[in-house]
């Protein structure tokens, strides 16, 4: 269905991503979910098709697309496998800080191999005691001469088990309130950098989520993102604003993929002598699922297009897209399992994987409870612009007095 934000160029990327999804992803989705191993053959398909650099500017070896192109590709890949959708999108998450805040030298060094699919990147923000409260992180980077010495650990590092490049956030000035955190760029193999625990996950099992440990890990001072320390928290928030629509697109793709299977099954499965799709209750479920998916798609595309056009108030719209689309993903995939009945609960059928993969989208890159907080804060700030309505509210009512 045509969408007002989508151009013919965007649709070309959809066609490419859908072809990769159907030819290279869907046939192996079950295998990599069971093995919990990284789909290297799929990564090579990304590189061959040009998907690896969709969001990276042409001057750094990419295709020059934007956030909307990224979201459309993530949607199509997640429609076939949520884990692969994450494995693809996390390279955008890791490289967006470089695109948004890196020096020209950092961009020219790190972005071309990512755009070509030669190297993978990861984003290190969360810690055991610092999840939603990113500002309370403990990982330290101390300046010693022309180097920074990293000590500490990062938790839930998506893609960390296979990445070559890491965007890591650490405390560089513990005494500062506003300039406490910096982002650093480093590569696998740096002395003092090790991969720790590999998580055994409920869903998105084909992409490795690991702990990262730093013990006197020395990196050049030039590794500081943007060349200036103290701006890491701002860089992280800018990155998440731009990346959250891609998480929303993961949820959107999972919801659409689950709806596809549920619709097909409902037309094939017979009970009481007729397909269950002929029953009013099943029709109601399908209609509601489809409507939620359509609404989520409009919000995701609107957020992505707004970011591409650098419109104001994108933080709220980005949070809304992530909140709504991932809640829809959980609702629709759960309803899809219900339509499959007992078969939906069995691993012989593909549908239960969609529900498992969907759950994490409500949690990472800012829980949906945090998204509600972000949205509410922006709404409260807007209250000042509504002062002209006060004349229609009796004063005693405004003060909470019962009249």
- The CATH number for 53's domain is 1.10.540.10
* Alpha-carbon distances, residue 366 vs 69, 133, 224, 370 (angstroms): 22, 10, 24, 6
Domain boundary among 200, 230, 260: 230
Domain boundary among 188, 209, 230: 230
Q: Is residue 389 a part of any domain in this protein?
A: no
| Known catalytic membership, residue 34 | no
- Verify that 317 and 347 share a domain, yes or no: yes
Q: 301 with 6: CB under 8 angstroms?
A: yes
Q: Which residues contact 65 (CB under 8 A, 6 or more apart)?
A: 9, 13, 54, 55
* Alpha-carbon distances, residue 140 vs 97, 123, 129, 157, 234 (angstroms): 19, 16, 14, 17, 17
Q: How far apart are CA 88 and CA 71, in angstroms?
A: 11
DSSP, collapsed to helix, strand or coil, labels residue 161 as coil
- Verify that 161 and 219 share a domain, yes or no: yes
Domain boundary among 120, 145, 169: 120
Mean pLDDT across the stretch 111-127?
97
Higher pLDDT, 258 or 395: 258
Mean pLDDT across the stretch 97-119?
98
Token pair belonging to 353: 């994987």
Q: For residue 297, which phi and psi values (nearest 5 degrees)? A: -60, -45
Residue 390 binned pLDDT confidence (cut-offs 50, 70, 90)? confident
Mean pLDDT across the stretch 34-58?
97
Looking at the 3D structure of the chain, how many domains does it have? 3
- Verify that 283 and 263 share a domain, yes or no: yes
* Alpha-carbon distances, residue 3 vs 10, 16, 142, 273 (angstroms): 11, 18, 50, 39
Residue 178 binned pLDDT confidence (cut-offs 50, 70, 90)? confident
Q: Is residue 399 a part of any domain in this protein?
A: no
Which residue's entry shows tokens 């020059």? 64
User: What is the structure's pLDDT at 76?
Assistant: 98
- Return the number of other C-beta atoms located less than 10 Å from residue 323's C-beta: 24
For 238-250, write each residue's pLDDT tens digit: 999 999 999 999 9
Lowest mean pLDDT among 48-62, 127-141, 342-356, 369-383: 127-141
Mean pLDDT across the stretch 177-182?
92
Q: Is residue 315 a part of any domain in this protein?
A: yes
Q: How far apart are CA 229 and CA 181, in angstroms?
A: 7
Domain residue limits at 106? 8-120
Residue 74 has pLDDT above 80, yes or no: yes
Mean pLDDT across the stretch 339-354?
97
Residue 148 has pLDDT above 90, yes or no: yes
- Verify that 221 and 248 share a domain, yes or no: no
- Verify that 165 and 116 share a domain, yes or no: no
DSSP, collapsed to helix, strand or coil, labels residue 396 as helix
Q: Kindly tell me the burial class for residue 343, based on how many C-beta atoms sit within 10 Å of its own C-beta (0-12, 13-18, 19 or more).
A: middle
User: At 304, which helix (H) or strand (E)?
Assistant: helix 280-308
Q: 33 with 74: CB under 8 angstroms?
A: no
Q: 251 with 325: CB under 8 angstroms?
A: yes
For 275-313, write each residue's pLDDT tens digit: 999 999 999 999 999 999 999 999 999 999 999 999 998
Q: Is residue 13 a part of any domain in this protein?
A: yes
Q: Is residue 388 a part of any domain in this protein?
A: no
Q: How far apart are CA 89 and CA 243, in angstroms?
A: 9
- Verify that 250 and 273 share a domain, yes or no: yes
Lowest mean pLDDT among 70-79, 133-142, 211-220, 279-288: 133-142
User: What is the structure's pLDDT at 400?
Assistant: 62
Residue 134 has pLDDT above 90, yes or no: no
User: What is the structure's pLDDT at 397?
Assistant: 60
User: What is the structure's pLDDT at 402?
Assistant: 56
Q: 96 with 104: CB under 8 angstroms?
A: no
Of the residues 75, 153, 365, 396, only one is catalytic, namely 365
Q: How far apart are CA 345 and CA 349, in angstroms?
A: 8
- Verify that 157 and 104 share a domain, yes or no: no
Q: How far apart are CA 45 and CA 52, in angstroms?
A: 9
pTM (predicted TM-score): 0.95
Q: What is the DSSP string of 190-207?
A: -TTEEEEEEP--SS-TTS
Number of Cα atoms under 13 Å in the Cβ half of residue 50 = 14
* Average confidence score pLDDT of the chain: 95
Residue 188 binned pLDDT confidence (cut-offs 50, 70, 90)? very high
8-35 burial, b for 16+ CB within 10 Å, e for fewer? eebeebeebbbebbeebbbebbeebbee
- Verify that 243 and 278 share a domain, yes or no: yes
- Verify that 60 and 135 share a domain, yes or no: no
Residue 399 binned pLDDT confidence (cut-offs 50, 70, 90)? low
- Verify that 146 and 192 share a domain, yes or no: yes
Instruction: Provide the percentage of residues in the chain whose pLDDT is more than 90.
Output: 91
CATH code for the domain in which residue 208 is found: 2.40.110.10
- Which residue, among 215, 198, 216, 196, has the nearest Cα to 207 in the 3D structure? 198
């Amino acid at each position: 269905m045509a969408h007002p934000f989508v151009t013919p160029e965007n649709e070309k990327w959809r066609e490419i991503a859908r072809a990769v999804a159907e030819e290279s992803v869907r046939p192996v989705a079950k295998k990599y979910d069971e093995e919990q191993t990284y789909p290297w053959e799929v990564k090579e398909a990304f590189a061959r098709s040009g998907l690896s650099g969709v969001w990276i500017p042409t001057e750094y070896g990419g295709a020059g697309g934007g956030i909307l192109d990224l979201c459309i590709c993530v949607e199509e890949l997640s429609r076939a496998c949520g884990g692969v959708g994450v494995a693809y999108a996390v390279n955008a998450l890791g490289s967006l800080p470089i695109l948004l805040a890196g020096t020209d030298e950092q961009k020219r060094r790190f972005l071309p191999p990512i755009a070509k699919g030669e190297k993978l990147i990861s984003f290190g923000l969360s810690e055991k005691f610092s999840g939603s409260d990113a500002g309370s992180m403990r990982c330290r980077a101390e300046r010693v001469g022309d180097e920074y010495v990293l000590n500490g650990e990062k938790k839930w590092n998506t893609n960390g088990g296979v990445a070559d490049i890491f965007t890591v956030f650490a405390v560089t000035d513990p005494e500062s309130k506003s300039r406490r955190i910096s982002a650093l760029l480093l590569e696998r193999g740096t002395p003092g950098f090790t991969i720790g625990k590999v998580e055994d996950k409920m869903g998105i099992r084909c992409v490795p989520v690991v702990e990262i440990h730093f013990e006197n890990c020395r990196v050049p001072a030039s590794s500081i993102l943007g060349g200036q320390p103290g701006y890491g928290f701002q860089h992280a928030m800018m990155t998440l604003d731009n990346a959250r629509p891609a998480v929303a697109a993961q949820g959107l793709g999972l919801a659409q993929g689950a709806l596809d299977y549920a619709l097909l099954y409902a037309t094939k499965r017979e009970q009481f002598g007729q397909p269950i799709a002929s029953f009013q209750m099943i029709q109601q479920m399908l209609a509601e699922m489809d409507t939620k998916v359509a609404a989520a798609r409009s919000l995701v595309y609107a957020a992505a297009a707004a970011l591409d056009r650098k419109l104001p108030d994108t933080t709220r719209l980005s949070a809304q897209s992530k909140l709504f689309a991932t809640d829809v993903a959980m609702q629709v995939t759960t309803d899809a399992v219900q339509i499959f009945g007992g078969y939906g609960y069995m691993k012989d059928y593909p549908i239960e994987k969609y529900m498992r993969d969907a759950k994490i989208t409500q949690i990472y890159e800012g829980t949906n409870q945090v998204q509600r907080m972000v949205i509410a804060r922006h709404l409260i700030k807007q209250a000042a612009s509504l002062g002209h309505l006060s004349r229609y509210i009796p004063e005693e009512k405004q003060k909470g007095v019962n009249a």
